[in-house]
Chain A
Amino acid sequence: MAQLTMIQAITNALDNALEKHDNTLIFGQDVGLNGGVFRATQGLQAKYGEERVFDTPLAESGIGGLAVGLAFQGFRPLPEIQFFGFMYETMDAIAGQMARTRFRTGGTRNMPITLRSPFGGGVHAPESHSDSLEGLMAQVPGLKVVIPSNPYDAKGLLLASIEDNDPVIFLEHMKLYRSFKEEVPEEYYTVPLGKAKVVLEGTDLSIVTYGYMVHESIKAATLLKEEGLSVEVIDLRTISPIDVETILLSVEKTGRLVVVQEAQRQAGVASVIMAEMAERQRGILALKAPIGRVSAPDSIYPFMLAENEWLPDAQKIVDKVKEVINFD
């Protein structure tokens, strides 16, 4: 086993996938010789050739359409959208085409596409490079949306996404790419889609979150522990479909829930989790206090000099947890 950053784990997963699945193709902007702007595909064109790892023209909709067409020819396309803020350009290819193909062909054709893209804020990237648009994806029927929070999961979830015969949007938080290393096996393994993970056990309150906010939530839980509070942290890992059962089990145990997302407050993944808990008897009757929500406010992603004011962080989570704990 090696100590890998998340970006290295992703490269390693792509390497494993190209080796194991002959029909996989990696393509996108600058993914070939350049190895991608974040180096996710570094060395892969040299190893597997331009036939399987190649650059495309700079047009996201074309990249999405190309993936659909290649899937019709029996390939397992792994397109990269250079920044997920550019996703709007390929929204039809994703939501109007990939997501609908199995359905509109009455279940006779599949779209085994894994579309990877960096997203999320806090890295002082220019305009349209830092958005958290996963909520838009999660609203699309027919897509799975996966967001890893660490190198081990990133590799296993990516390989599971690639094996999946339905389209998966795989979002990689930019702040996690190189923030820490952990043990990642060299060999091929998968982490199941649609399964959340309890990353910190606790008894007083449950935090449900995903992506980079998993780490801010753990930080918050550590601070709260010093004050004698036992907080459970759940990493969703897949935000569509949501693993409702794991959340329910946790809420039944703790009776209190705070949902944390980096994205803006309106609509979004946190809303869905709150609704699932409010709607289900097992959820609502287990709750001893209103559900708390920590998110960014409803503005456009801010100018980069001010992004840290705007983004949720451990302190904001601590404050919200206390509010929910102190509710009578």
Chain B
Amino acid sequence: MTDKKIDFAAHLQSVEENYKMIQILNEEGKIVNSDLIPDLSDEQLVQLFKDMLWSRAVNDRCVILARQGRLGFFGPTAGQEASQLASYLAFEKNDFLLPGYRDFPQLVKHGLPLHKAFLWSRGHIEGGQYPEGLNAVIPQVIIGAQITQAAGVGLGMKKRGIKQVVFTYTGDGGSSQGDFYEGMNFAGAFKAPVVFFIQNNQYAISTPWRKQTAANTLAQKAAAAGIPGILVDGMDPLAVYAVSKAAREWVLDGNGPVLIESFTSRFQPHSMSGDDPKIYREEASFAEWDAKDPLTRTRIYLTEKGLWNKDDEEDLIKQFDKEILEEVKKSDNAPKQNVSQFLEIMFEEPTEILQEQIEYYKNKEGN
């Protein structure tokens, strides 16, 4: 043997070189990677921007509602519109969605009436009763559980011969969960048609993603499962769409799952229940990330293409807000819930012990 050494540093570096961030539209609204520009019509581009504006409008309204105590749990979405809506644009109607708790925009685009999202937030039984034919499950709260379930949904679709794709979302925090690895590994082993989508908004409530892992990217976590992992600028809707669309095609071709890390920013707190980003974010980071706002760069891009007029935007947002408030009103009218109703849905048929409790509560409820 010579004195050759195993070069661990070089090994690490070679891993990291495979996970460079893909960007197409930079924060000045300029195309920086024309090779990858996705094939979107003008109408689709405008619709995508409108969807992102709608999502921001819902967010802004929800923040107000939450402060007024008129919502339950709400996880703000501002800053993540490109990650959420541009990835959703790659979906088809029969694709299956397993969302995290911050993913109501994709759910609503997929067919969930908005007032149901409000009811879920408030803690109402009807918030989990989804319309027939909506290919989605209700938002997951245990942040890695949807990853293993997505592998199951994907395997099920494959067994049924359904040519569709499963999309599941989690965050940087979720990528630390054991289930995240198990789910990716299962889907890889079964070549299940799943797109695993991490929105790396940089903080798991307050813990910075750099403190959660020694990995230089979250995308590289795919390597261990033997599947592609792609890192994309999560503030760039063109890049998010291009990557999601390509991932969908790859998966649909029977190549097995893909992991996407969309590097993004949550402009606001983790939830409206009391955390203060000023405690855990560097002061300079607010302005730095606000400048990367996906809405800003998209607006510039579309305006320069002659597809958007800023003057029309105010009216559009007013219209969105009006529609949102109508949905809020619908959720206000949801019937009062009672305990006997909860007991009745525990099983297909209540057990004898539950039946006793149902009778007890029904008497109390005066039915």
Contacts and interface: CB of A to CB of B under 8 A. Distances in A.
Contacts of B130: 105, 108
A166 B149 CA distance: 17
13 contacts: A56-B189, A59-B186, A65-B152, A65-B183, A66-B149, A66-B155, A69-B155, A72-B96, A72-B153, A93-B148, A102-B348, A104-B138, A241-B352
A69 B156 contact: yes
B252 interface: no
Given A62-B185, A245-B352, A72 B179 contact: no
- 8 nearest interchain CB pairs? A69-B152, A65-B148, A73-B156, A62-B182, A107-B345, A106-B129, A241-B351, A66-B152
Interface of A: 25, 51, 56-57, 59, 61-62, 64-75, 77, 92-93, 96-97, 102-110, 141-142, 144, 164-166, 194, 241-245
B342 interface: yes
Interface of B: 96, 125-130, 137-138, 142, 145, 147-157, 159-160, 178-179, 182-183, 185-186, 189, 342, 344-348, 351-354
Contact of A75 (B156, B348, B354): B156
Chain B interface, DSSP helix/strand/loop, else mixed: helix
A103 B56 CA distance: 31
A61 B128 CA distance: 24
Contact of B150 (A25, A57, A69, A71): A69
Contacts of B347: 102, 142, 144, 166
Contacts, number: 131
A57 B155 contact: no
A107 B343 CA distance: 10
B129 A72 contact: no
B149 A72 contact: yes
Contacts of B129: 105-108
A57 B186 contact: yes
A245 B149 CA distance: 38
A68 B348 CA distance: 17
B129 to A, nearest CB: 4
Contacts of B348: 102, 110, 164-166
B325 to A, nearest CB: 24
B124 to A, nearest CB: 9
A92 B142 contact: yes
Given A61-B179, A70-B156, 9 more contacts: A51-B159, A57-B186, A62-B179, A65-B186, A97-B142, A97-B145, A102-B346, A105-B137, A106-B125
B148 A61 contact: yes
Nearest to A68: B149
A314 B70 CA distance: 61
A96 B186 contact: no
Contacts of A144: 347
Nearest to A142: B346
A69 B142 contact: no
Contacts of A241: 351-354
B352 A62 contact: no
Contact of B155 (A70, A93, A110): A70
Given A57-B186, A65-B148, A65-B183, A194 B346 contact: no
B149 to A, nearest CB: 4
A73 B157 contact: yes
B145 A96 contact: yes
A56 B152 CA distance: 11
A62 B148 contact: yes
Contacts of A70: 152-153, 155-156
Contacts of B126: 106
B277 to A, nearest CB: 29
A68 B182 CA distance: 14
A62 B151 contact: yes
Contacts of A245: 352
B182 A61 contact: yes
A105 B134 CA distance: 13
Contacts of B157: 73
A65 B149 contact: yes
Contacts of B344: 107
Contacts of B155: 66, 69-70
A48 to B, nearest CB: 13
Given A56-B186, A93-B148, A69 B154 contact: yes
Contacts of A68: 148-149, 152
Given A72-B153, A106-B345, A141-B346, A66 B186 contact: yes
A62 B145 contact: no
B147 A65 contact: yes
Contacts of B142: 92, 96-97
A75 to B, nearest CB: 6
Nearest to A193: B351
